[in-house]
């Protein structure tokens, strides 16, 4: 790889980390923001859910609005908007203002991620698979960094400084984006209803899409309600201590970079998914234990189970159809983030009314039904792949 391509890759990775940090920075701060704005658990959960919702519907919206667009220009313009909104988030004194600027962010984050993925896929066509694994690892690392640093900054400085520091990081990314050598257009798919219906008629795709909807619903639900659960266990716990529980998220990097070895160990993709689901369900049951140190260790294992299912399912979905890979990938992400958006919102309502244990029992029931679905349809992937 030439120096120019390496520098471009560094810029893309840095931008991905910053964008995912912006996405998840509010998560460990939710109890603090709920107190600050005098709002409910459910309303505070919307700060993360809104971005996931727009990530779910963006393949449809951007596909119809933007036929062709220069990826670098879209990156710069969207990043400038993100830079401004983070300053306003830091200075917001009411829930309504904060939510408005968070919604504006939700509109531009998918545009930035679409551009970054497009540049990464096209800047070095000989190493597309390697670049996509870098993309996945960078998103996971960004989600981890965003959560931990926001907790650290909020505890040692103020929650406002979290957003000001993110604005500074975005400003640095704008400087770097200008140095990108890539000048091509972003690959934006305009989905045809007939093509979507044809893919949904294929039981293999609907199985994988339902699987990821349910798995990410549970995963996002646990991680979004977790800060409130920790405050219930100990009112003295700081935002930084809460954010440290998200260190388990780093398991996603290890799993995504070693997914081939994991599949080899379990012989097939379907076996790996079934094992991952059983493990994920098993760990979810134990999250009822009201101990912060136990919870810290369990979250590592919880993330291990989820990312095993996610990384293997992504590869499986991309290998099922030789044509229309952009559309099948876009639909995968739509179901994935839709599960995350609903999972970041609905469980917080249940938690407020019925408590943590009931939320977990519902999650376990959903995972059990998902496991039955995968087990009964496992032959579809062996016979037809």
- 335-373 pLDDT, tens digit per residue, is 999 999 999 999 999 999 999 999 999 999 999 999 999
Q: Of 160, 190, 220, which residue sits at a domain end?
A: 190
Q: 354 with 220, same domain?
A: yes
Q: What is the pLDDT of residue 129?
A: 66
Q: 199 with 180, same domain?
A: no
- 180-221 pLDDT, tens digit per residue, is 887 777 666 677 788 888 888 889 899 999 999 999 999 999
Q: 367 with 242, same domain?
A: yes
Is residue 379's pLDDT more than 90? no
- 22-48 pLDDT, tens digit per residue, is 999 999 999 999 999 999 999 999 999
Q: Which domain holds residue 27?
A: 1-190
Q: What is the pLDDT of residue 127?
A: 67
Q: At what angle do helices 95-122 and 128-156 cross, to 10 degrees?
A: 150
- 230-245 pLDDT, tens digit per residue, is 999 999 999 999 999 9
User: How far is C-alpha 296 from the chain's CA centre?
Assistant: 20
- 76-108 pLDDT, tens digit per residue, is 999 999 999 999 999 999 999 999 999 999 999
Cβ–Cβ < 8 Å for 78, 190: no
Is residue 60's pLDDT more than 90? no
Q: Of 190, 220, 252, which residue sits at a domain end?
A: 190
| Of 127 and 205, the one with more pLDDT | 205
**Domains identified in the chain, total number:** 2
DSSP state of 250: G
Quick one: pLDDT band at residue 385, thresholds 50, 70, 90? very low
Q: Of 164, 190, 216, which residue sits at a domain end?
A: 190
Q: 3 with 152, same domain?
A: yes
Looking up tokens 């376990």, which residue turns up? Answer: 364
Which pTM value belongs to this model? 0.91
Q: What is the pLDDT of residue 321?
A: 67
Q: What is the pLDDT of residue 133?
A: 75
Q: 185 with 326, same domain?
A: no
Q: What does the alpha-carbon distance between residue 99 and residue 34 come to, in Å, rounded to a whole number?
A: 12
Q: 120 with 249, same domain?
A: no
Quick one: pLDDT band at residue 67, thresholds 50, 70, 90? low
**H-type helices in the chain, by residue range?**
3-24, 30-37, 41-65, 71-91, 95-122, 128-156, 159-177, 193-201, 203-233, 239-244, 251-257, 259-266, 269-286, 292-319, 325-343, 346-354, 356-376, 378-384
Is residue 148's pLDDT more than 80? yes
Q: 58 with 198, same domain?
A: no
We report the CATH number of the domain holding residue 111 as 1.20.1250.20
Q: 166 with 77, same domain?
A: yes
Q: 207 with 176, same domain?
A: no
Cβ–Cβ < 8 Å for 279, 273: no
Q: 129 with 205, same domain?
A: no
- 260-286 pLDDT, tens digit per residue, is 899 999 988 999 999 999 999 999 999
Q: 16 with 156, same domain?
A: yes
Q: What is the pLDDT of residue 228?
A: 95
Share of the chain above pLDDT 70, in %: 93
Q: 159 with 275, same domain?
A: no
- 302-341 pLDDT, tens digit per residue, is 999 999 999 888 878 877 765 666 678 778 889 999 999 9
| Of 301 and 319, the one with more pLDDT | 301
């Amino acid at each position: 790889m030439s120096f120019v391509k390496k520098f471009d890759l560094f810029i893309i990775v840095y931008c991905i980390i910053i964008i995912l940090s912006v996405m998840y920075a509010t998560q460990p701060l939710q109890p603090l923001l709920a107190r600050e704005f005098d709002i409910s658990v459910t309303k505070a959960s919307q700060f993360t859910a809104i971005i996931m919702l727009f990530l779910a519907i963006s393949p449809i919206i951007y596909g119809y609005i933007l036929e062709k667009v220069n990826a670098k220009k879209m990156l710069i313009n969207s990043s400038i908007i993100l830079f401004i909104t983070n300053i306003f988030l830091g200075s917001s004194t009411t829930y309504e203002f904060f939510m408005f600027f968070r919604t504006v962010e939700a509109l531009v984050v998918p545009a930035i991620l679409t551009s970054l993925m497009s540049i990464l896929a096209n800047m070095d066509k000989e190493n597309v698979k390697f670049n996509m694994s870098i993309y996945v690892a960078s998103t996971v690392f960004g989600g981890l960094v965003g959560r931990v640093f926001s907790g650290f900054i909020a505890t040692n400085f103020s929650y406002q400084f979290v957003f000001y520091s993110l604005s500074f990081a975005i400003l640095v990314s704008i400087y770097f984006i200008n140095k990108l050598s890539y000048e091509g257009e972003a690959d934006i798919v305009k989905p045809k209803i007939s093509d979507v219906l044809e893919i949904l008629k294929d039981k293999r795709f609907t199985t994988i899409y339902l699987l990821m909807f349910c798995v990410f619903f549970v995963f996002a639900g646990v991680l979004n309600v977790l800060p409130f659960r920790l405050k219930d266990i100990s009112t003295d716990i700081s935002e930084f201590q809460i954010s440290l529980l998200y260190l388990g998220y780093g398991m996603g990097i290890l799993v995504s970079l070693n997914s081939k070895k994991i599949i080899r160990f379990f012989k097939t993709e379907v076996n790996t998914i079934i094992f991952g689901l059983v493990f994920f369900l098993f760990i979810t049951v134990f999250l009822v234990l009201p101990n912060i140190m136990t919870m810290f260790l369990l979250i590592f294992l919880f993330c291990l189970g989820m990312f095993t299912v996610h990384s293997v399912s992504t590869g499986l979905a991309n290998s099922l159809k030789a044509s229309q890979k952009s559309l099948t990938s876009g639909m995968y992400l739509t179901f994935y983030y839709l599960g995350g958006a609903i999972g970041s919102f609905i469980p917080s309502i249940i938690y407020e009314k019925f408590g943590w244990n009931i939320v977990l029992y519902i999650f376990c029931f959903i995972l059990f039904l998902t496991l039955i679905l995968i087990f009964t349809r496992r032959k579809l992937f062996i016979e037809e792949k």
